[in-house]
C-alpha cells in the first residue's frame, strides 16, 4: 500500500480513453480548462492526480448519458484507475468524497462515469472511526452466537402510535425475534414521537429480557440533526437499548461521523436513496466503493437489499454488496460491517442466500415475511430460523419443510 | 397551501401509470409488499400518502433503466404528484429526504423515476433555518450594491501552499475582485492547512480593506466533521472573514444544518457530485427540487454551473436552476439563495447570462477566465465588469468591446 489514494472507475467516452482519463485526473486535482501559470512542475509533483491504469473494454452502443462531447462519435467503455496524494485532502472522509466523486461526473468527456472501487492507505483509514461493533460486537449485544440475526421491520412502515408499536414489539419478542428495526420513514413524527416510542418499546424489551434473559436488539431510527441524534442516542442507551439507526443519504458523511463519534451503540445504517446513486449502470457508484465511506465513518450494519427482492436489483449484485462489506479493507483496518438482507424477504430465500454467500454473519430482516405468516409472527420467525438452520446444515429446503410446519406454511404463503 | 407535503415526479413505467403511482405512495408511507393486519382504515387516514395527480406523457422507447418489471412492455412516461401528511416525518429536513427521495427509486414498477419539484407547508418551512444572508445579506457583506459579485476560484485547484494562496489573493484584490472561493478540492490538506490559509489570506484581505475600504469576500472551504467546521468557522469569523463554503454532498443535510445553526457568516454551498444525482434524465433529481432541501437548510449561495460551461449541462437547464433558487418558496419563507455561475466562465458569457436570466443577483465566478486573461487578473476582472455593465445597460458585446481593451482581449482569448 502506497501513501496514495486509488479509485477505480468505469468510464464511457467517445474520446481516446487515455485523453479522457487525463482530463479526469486534471479536473480532480491541479488542472482547470485552461493552462495557468501557477501550475508549476513542483506543484504538479505535489498535487497532481495520476492515471495509474486503463483497460479498454471496447465499443458500446452509446452514448449512455446525454450532454457528452462528440455525441455522434464511437463510444467505448474502459476501466480507469486514478491516484491522488493524501496531501491533497488530508485525513478527511468528507473531503475525500469531493475528490474521488465530485465534479467529474459532469465532464463533457464522458457519456458514462461510475466509481467502482476505492483503496485507501492505512494512514488514512487510521484517522477514521470505523465500526465500533461490527459482526462480533453486534452478536454480543444481541446474544446471537451463530447464524443470522433474524429480524423484522415495524410494519406498517409509518403510522403506528408509540403504544401500537410497543404492542407489536411485544408480539415479536414473544415470537422469538432477534432484531427489530424502525422503518426508515419513522423517526420522530408527531404521531409517534421518538421519545415516546423509545420508552414504550424499551419497556417491552426490558420486561422480555427480565423474563427470558434475551434482550432483543431494536434499531431506533434517530435520523435528524446532530443534537437531536445525540439526545435520542442517549435516551436509547439510558433505557437499555442496544442499537440506533440512521438514514445515510439523509444525514450525510458529516452527520454520520458526528453520530459515530458520540455513539455507544451499534449503528444500523440504512441506504434508502441508493437507487438514485446506482440504478443507471454507467453512472454513480458501485456499492463496493460507496460503502467504503460509510464503513470508515462507522456503520456497523449496512443494508444490501436481498435475494429475489421487491426492488429492481439483481441477485448477483446483492451478493456482491454483502461480500464487499464483509471483506476487510486491510488487515490493520478491516472495517467489516454486517450486511442487512431486507426487502421482500421470507423463509424462501434463506437457502439461496446461504448458497450464494457462504456466510451467516448477517441480519436477515423480513417484514411481511414474518408478520404476514399464516401462523403469525411466531410462525414467521420459526420458519426463517428453520430454513437457515437447514441451509447451514446442508439440508434442502423441501426436506426441511417436511419437518417444520412453520416453514412449510411459509413456502406456501410466499409463493415459489 | 395545505398541511400536506407535495412532491412531483417524472416516472417511466410499463405498468398502468395509476397503479405505479399507487405503488409509490404505498412504499413511501404505510404500505409493504403484502397486506398486513395493522394497516387499518384509521392508520391509513393518518399516514397514507396520496396520489394527487397523474399526467400521462405518452409512450417512450424504453426502458431507460434496467431492473424494472415488464422490461419488454410498452413504456410510458407520466408526471405524478404525491402528497404526505406532515405527521409522518415531523418538521425534519433529513427525514423529509427519506420520505420523498428514499427507497422509491428502486421500485420494480419503474424504469425511470426523478423528483422534479417539492412544495412544503409554511409550518414545515418555519422550522427550517433557511439562508441567513441570501442576496441582500451577501451584497451588504461584500459591499457590492448592484450587478453581479465578480468572483474567482483559487487556481490551480489544489496544491498551492497557504503563502502561495495569499500571494494570489493579493494579486486578485489588487485586480478589483469582489469574491474569491477556495476550490472544492482544497479544504485542510497538510500542504495547505486550513488555519494557515485562513490567517495568510485574511492578512491580505484585511490589509486591502484597510487601504481601500473594500473587504473582498473569501469563501473558505471548511468542509469536514462538525467540530472541525465549527472551529474553522470561528477562526474565519475571528479573523474578519465574511464567508465560509461547504460541499453539500460531502457534509449531507445533517452536516449542513449543524453548520448553519452555528454560523455567523454566509454559507457558500458547493454542489460537486451533482452529476451523479442528475445526469440521467429519467433518474435522480431536478435542481429545482434538490435545491429546496439546501435552501431550507441554510445555503446562501448555490452553484448552478454556467452558460456554455465546461461540463455537460445545457444552458436552459443552468438558467432554470438559477431562476429556481431566486424564486421565493413562499411569501412567508422565501429562502432565496444567490446563484453561483461557475465553470468555464469568462467575460464572453455575461451578455448571454443577463439576457437569459434578467437578474444580476448572482455570483459570477471565473477561474481561467480571470487568471488566464492576457493582461492578468486585472484585465480579467475588468473584462467581466465591463461586459456585465454593458449587458445591463443594453449595450451589445461587440460594441462594448470597442470601448474596453480588457473586454476585447478577453473575447479574443476565450474563443467564440
**Residue of A106, A112, A253 to mutate when probing chain B, most B C-beta within 10 A:** A106
DSSP one-letter string for B67-131: T-SSTTS-EEEEEEEEEEEGGGT-S-HHHHHHHHSSGGGGBTTEEEEEEEEEE--HHHHHTS---
What's the pLDDT score for residue B30?
84
Whole-angstrom distance, CA of residue A268 vs CA of residue A249: 13
In this prediction, does ipTM exceed 0.95? Answer: yes
pLDDT at A1 exceeding the cut of 70: no
pLDDT mean over B25-35:
78
What is the CB neighbour count within 10 angstroms for residue B404? 21
Q: Does B334 touch chain A (CB under 8 A)?
A: no
Is the pTM higher than 0.95? The answer reads yes
DSSP one-letter string for A140-195: HHHT--SSPEEEEE-SSSS---HHHHHHHHHHHHHTT-SEEE--TT-SS-TTS-HH
Local confidence band at B70 (pLDDT 50, 70, 90 cut-offs)? confident
Single out the residue of A62, A101, A59, A64 nearest to residue A78, CA to CA: A59
- Please give the grid coordinates belonging to residue B110: 419503474
A90-148 per-position pLDDT tens digit: 999 999 999 999 999 999 999 999 999 999 999 999 999 999 999 999 999 999 999 99
pLDDT mean over B62-66:
90
CB contact under 8 A, A279 and B279: no
What's the pLDDT score for residue A73?
85
**Residue of B61, B96, B255, B375 to mutate when probing chain A, most A C-beta within 10 A:** B255
Percent of chain B with pLDDT over 70: 98
- Residues 45-84 of chain B whose Cβ lies under 8 A from any Cβ of chain A: 46-48, 65-69
Residues from chain A contacting residue B113 (CB–CB below 8 Å): 275
- Residues 263-302 of chain A whose Cβ lies under 8 A from any Cβ of chain B: 270, 272-277, 279-281, 283-285
What's the pLDDT score for residue B33?
54
Residues from chain B contacting residue A95 (CB–CB below 8 Å): 185, 187-189, 223-224, 247, 250
CB contact under 8 A, A371 and B38: yes
pLDDT at A33 exceeding the cut of 60: no
Whole-angstrom distance, CA of residue B142 vs CA of residue B217: 6
- Please give the grid coordinates belonging to residue B82: 404525491
What's the DSSP call for residue B348?
G
- List the Cα angle A394/A395/A401 in 5-degree steps: 150
What's the pLDDT score for residue B187?
95
Residues from chain A contacting residue B95 (CB–CB below 8 Å): 185, 187-189, 223-224, 247, 250
pLDDT at B381 exceeding the cut of 70: yes
For B31-58, b where at least 16 C-beta lie within 10 A, e where not — what string? bbbbebebbeeebbebbbbbbeebeeee
* Residues pairing with B113 in the sheet: B11, B283
What's the pLDDT score for residue A10?
98
**Residue of A20, A224, A262, A279 to mutate when probing chain B, most B C-beta within 10 A:** A279
Single out the residue of A184, A2, A279 nearest to residue A290, CA to CA: A279
Whole-angstrom distance, CA of residue A408 vs CA of residue A390: 13
Whole-angstrom distance, CA of residue A304 vs CA of residue A311: 11
For A284, the closest chain B residue by CA position comes to B276
pLDDT mean over A47-60:
96
Please state whether beta strands A4-13 and A112-119 pair in parallel, antiparallel, or not at all (unpaired): antiparallel
Question: Of the candidates A106, A252, A368, which has its C-beta nearest B312's C-beta?
Answer: A106
DSSP one-letter string for A339-373: EEEESS--GGGHHHHHHHH----SEEE-SHHHHTS
B99-111 per-position pLDDT tens digit: 999 999 999 999 9
Q: Does A313 touch chain B (CB under 8 A)?
A: yes
Local confidence band at B35 (pLDDT 50, 70, 90 cut-offs)? low
A246-276 per-position pLDDT tens digit: 999 999 999 999 999 999 999 999 999 999 9
Residues from chain A contacting residue B250 (CB–CB below 8 Å): 94-95, 97-98, 252-254
Local confidence band at A319 (pLDDT 50, 70, 90 cut-offs)? very high
CB contact under 8 A, B36 and A156: yes
Local confidence band at A71 (pLDDT 50, 70, 90 cut-offs)? confident
A358-371 per-position pLDDT tens digit: 999 999 999 989 99
Local confidence band at A415 (pLDDT 50, 70, 90 cut-offs)? confident
- List the Cα angle B245/B102/B89 in 5-degree steps: 85
- Residues 247-266 of chain A whose Cβ lies under 8 A from any Cβ of chain B: 247, 249-258, 261
pLDDT mean over B263-272:
98
What's the pLDDT score for residue B36?
66
3-state DSSP helix/strand/coil percent for chain A, to nearest 5?
45, 20, 35
- Please give the grid coordinates belonging to residue B308: 456554455
CB contact under 8 A, B185 and A275: no
Smallest Cα distance from B147 to chain A, Å: 26
Residues from chain A contacting residue B168 (CB–CB below 8 Å): 38
Q: Does A225 touch chain B (CB under 8 A)?
A: yes
Smallest Cα distance from B414 to chain A, Å: 9
Smallest Cα distance from A114 to chain B, Å: 8
Neighbouring C-alpha atoms within 13 Å toward the C-beta of B104: 34
CB contact under 8 A, A106 and B275: yes
Percent of chain A with pLDDT over 90: 89
pLDDT mean over B234-245:
98
A375-394 per-position pLDDT tens digit: 999 999 999 999 999 999 99
pLDDT mean over B284-310:
96
Residues from chain A contacting residue B89 (CB–CB below 8 Å): 158, 185, 187, 189
Residues from chain B contacting residue A157 (CB–CB below 8 Å): 29-32
Amino acid at each position: 500500500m502506497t501513501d496514495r489514494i486509488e479509485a477505480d472507475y468505469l468510464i464511457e467516452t467517445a474520446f481516446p480513453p487515455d485523453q479522457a482519463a487525463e482530463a479526469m485526473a486534471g479536473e480532480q486535482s491541479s488542472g482547470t480548462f485552461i493552462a495557468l501559470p501557477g501550475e508549476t512542475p513542483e506543484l504538479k509533483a505535489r498535487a497532481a492526480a495520476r492515471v495509474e491504469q486503463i483497460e479498454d473494454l471496447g465499443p458500446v452502443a452509446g452514448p449512455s448519458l446525454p450532454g457528452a462531447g462528440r455525441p455522434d462519435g464511437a463510444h467505448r467503455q474502459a476501466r480507469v484507475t486514478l491516484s491522488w496524494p493524501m496531501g491533497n485532502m488530508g485525513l478527511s472522509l468528507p473531503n475525500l468524497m469531493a475528490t474521488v466523486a465530485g465534479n467529474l461526473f459532469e465532464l463533457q468527456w464522458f457519456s458514462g462515469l461510475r466509481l467502482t472501487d476505492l483503496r485507501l492507505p492505512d494512514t488514512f483509514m487510521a484517522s477514521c472511526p470505523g465500526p465500533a461493533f461490527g459482526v462480533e460486537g453486534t452478536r454480543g449485544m444481541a446474544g446471537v452466537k451463530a447464524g443470522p440475526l433474524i429480524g423484522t421491520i415495524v410494519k406498517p412502515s409509518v403510522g403506528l402510535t408509540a403504544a401500537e408499536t410497543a404492542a407489536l414489539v411485544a408480539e415479536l419478542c414473544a415470537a422469538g425475534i432477534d432484531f427489530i428495526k424502525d422503518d426508515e420513514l419513522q423517526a420522530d413524527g408527531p404521531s409517534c414521537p421518538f421519545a415516546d416510542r423509545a420508552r414504550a418499546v424499551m419497556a417491552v424489551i426490558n420486561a422480555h429480557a427480565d423474563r427470558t434473559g434475551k434482550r432483543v436488539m431494536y434499531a431506533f431510527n434517530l435520523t435528524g440533526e446532530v443534537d437531536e441524534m445525540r439526545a435520542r442516542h442517549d435516551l436509547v442507551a439510558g433505557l437499555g437499548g442496544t442499537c440506533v439507526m440512521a438514514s445515510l443519504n439523509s444525514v450525510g458523511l458529516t452527520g454520520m461521523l458526528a453520530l459515530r463519534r458520540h455513539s455507544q451503540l451499534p449503528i444500523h445504517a440504512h441506504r434508502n436513496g441508493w437507487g438514485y446513486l446506482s440504478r443507471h449502470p454507467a453512472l454513480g457508484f458501485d456499492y463496493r466503493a460507496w460503502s467504503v465511506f460509510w464503513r470508515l465513518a462507522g456503520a456497523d450494519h449496512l443494508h444490501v437489499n436481498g435475494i429475489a427482492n421487491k426492488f429492481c436489483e439483481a441477485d448477483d449484485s446483492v451478493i456482491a454488496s454483502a461480500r464487499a462489506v464483509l471483506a476487510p479493507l486491510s488487515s490493520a483496518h478491516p472495517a467489516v460491517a454486517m450486511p442487512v438482507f431486507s426487502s421482500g424477504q421470507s423463509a424462501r430465500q434463506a437457502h439461496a442466500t446461504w448458497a450464494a454467500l457462504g456466510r451467516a454473519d448477517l441480519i436477515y430482516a423480513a417484514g411481511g415475511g414474518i408478520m404476514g405468516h399464516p401462523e403469525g409472527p411466531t410462525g414467521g420467525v420459526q420458519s426463517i430460523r428453520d430454513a437457515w438452520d437447514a441451509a447451514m446444515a446442508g439440508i434442502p429446503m423441501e426436506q426441511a419443510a417436511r419437518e417444520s410446519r412453520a416453514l412449510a406454511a411459509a413456502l406456501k404463503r410466499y409463493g415459489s
